[in-house]
Copies of this chain bind each other. A is one copy, B any other.
Amino acid sequence: MKMVRNALGRMIPEEIDGKKLKPFMGAHEDHGGGRKAAPPIRAVVDYENKMLASLDEAIEACEIRDGMTVSFHHHLRNGDHVVNMVVDKLAEKGLKNLTLAPSALFPIHEPLVQHVENGVISHIEGSMNGPVGRACSLGKMSKTCILRSHGGRYRAIQDGDLHVDVAFIAAPAADSLGNCNGYGGPSACGVMGYALADSLYADKVVVLTDNLVPFPNYPWIIRGGNVDHIVQLEKLGDPEKIVSGTTRITRSPTRQLIAEYAARLVNDLGLMEEPEFSFQAGAGGISLAFLKYMGDMLREKGLKASFARGGSNKFLVDLLEEGLIEYILDGQCFDQVGVRSLGENPRHIETDPFTSYNYHTKGNFATRVKAAVLGATEIDVDFNVNVNTHSDGWLLHGIGGFADVCDAWCTIITAPLHRGRLATIVDSVTTVTVPGETIDVLVTERGIAVNPSRTDILERLRDTDLPLVPIEKLRKMAVDLSGEPEKPEYEERIVALIEYRDGTVIDTVRQLKV
């Protein structure tokens, strides 16, 4: 296998599974080119009745063959029954060598491992979390997996790099034309924008719903004009696990402190007073605490943020309802309050990876965010971030929107110096998910490191009383306490590619020696 060095010095194969790879060139070196995928032209006259009696009939109608690519969205999260149900059915039909292209997988999808082992699934393009990632690390996939960010997945489908033969779209509400949304019904998940690319570009689109509603089902997040078949199922999943009943703020004093530092940082940067101030934070414990602090500061200053990007949750919705943010631009709903608000509040707006994250477009929302707060598994002294593998080499997480969110004006990584007994700040990350050039600040409980390339940020922080320190010093603090993490031992074989949002390969993941 011939290898080339990419812009970060990581070695990338020239080609893999017969496909030529483009090595990462820098975060914004790609300027597009070529043309988008061209989906097949169909005629209305052939879609007078889309309702099919069963999943079996839909699979027959789609003429799925060995080696095809089937896709799924992950808005039903750890409550999803659809992926397992469909893949079981495909296995039953004797299909082999399928590419699975889910926008993410969760622990509930552990049964897929057996379908990897028996050859039904050759590999995964999209995202893996937990057990399926573990199987990948063990070299169980017959082909090389490709991990993509949410924006990267949209781009890959849009550009034709990832051709989906059949998309299975779980729809909490659908009408008989195939207009879908996630607002109501027993499996309500709120946002369902991650299925948009699939609906636009897949050759065949099958909607699975447990809630068939009268036409017109509005909003039509998935448009009926893109849907081939509709099947009613008894249930799509487990409502309790589709969205959690509650999201919990961190109680750890260390993490509270990190959140407070991050919020004070945003304040000291003077961003809040600027027009069109906006922010984004996830649904982890630190992020939720950050949201709370942001709310306190906005309230105190009598200011209003122009928008916040979700993952929506109770804390973000509280800010919206109190009038401290003008809009929530939501990419997925993390709890029931988020789902409820999306359906009710006209200022809580559903987005999708085209509007939000896609790099191959004429502008998106990610670049409009002023301050984004993200967690990380590892960060190194060049500010490169790893969210995919642990220091022991196991591939356990997808990229999510991480690489896309980093286009914010100020991207802030919040991380304690250690997780368990392992240092979070290292000399060189096990796997590069995003390049250091897109990371602006690291906030830890022991100090805040600003990327030295961001002289403008350093200038704005001239008078701050926050504890600014060089990242090397944070690394030393971390390592002095815990020692350098042991390097994992790898086999030769590359089991996964980490694809950057522009379609280049930023790093590889190797099979673990176990």
Task: List residues of chain A with CB under 8 Å of any chain B CB.
Answer: 28, 30-48, 50, 158-159, 177-178, 205, 214-216, 218, 220, 223-228, 275-276, 306-307, 327, 329, 346, 349, 354-355, 358-368, 407, 502
CB distance from A468 to the nearest CB of B (A): 28
- Shortest Cβ-Cβ A-B pairs, 9 listed: A35-B38, A225-B361, A47-B363, A32-B43, A38-B38, A28-B45, A32-B41, A32-B42, A47-B362
Task: Give the complex CA separation of A38 and B307 in angstroms.
Answer: 33
- Separation of A158 and B36 alpha carbons in the complex (Å): 13
A224 B33 Cβ-Cβ under 8 A: no
CB-contact partner of A216 in B33, B39, B346, B365, under 8 A: B365
Taking a contact as CB atoms closer than 8 A, the residue among B48, B327, B502 that contacts A43 in the complex is B502
Report whether over half of chain A's contact residues are helix, strand or loop; otherwise say mixed: loop
Is A36 a contact partner of B39 (Cβ separation < 8 A)? yes
Cross-chain contact A363 with B224 (CB below 8 angstroms): yes
Instruction: State how many angstroms separate the Cβ of A463 from the closest Cβ of chain B.
Output: 29
The residues of B that contact A223 with a CB separation of less than 8 Å are 354-355
A366 to B28 alpha-carbon distance, docked (Å): 44
A363 touches B41 (CB 8 A): no
CB closest chain-B residue, reference A159: B41
Given known pairs A31-B43, A43-B30, the reply for A362 and B36 (CB within 8 Å) is no
Q: Which of B224, B276, B407 contacts A362 (CB 8 A)?
A: B224
Contacts of A45 in B (CB 8 A): 28, 30-31, 359
Q: Report the Cα distance A166→B224, complex, angstroms.
A: 29
B residues less than 8 Å from A355 (CB atoms): 220, 223-225
Q: Is the CB of B177 within 8 A of A368?
A: yes
Option from B35, B329, B364 in Cβ contact (under 8 Å) with A39: B35
Q: Is A218's CB under 8 angstroms from B38's CB?
A: no
Residue of B225, B346, B363 near A178 (CB, 8 A) is B363
Alpha-carbon separation in the docked complex, A45 to B178 (Å): 35
Query: B349–A218 contact, CB under 8 A?
Result: yes
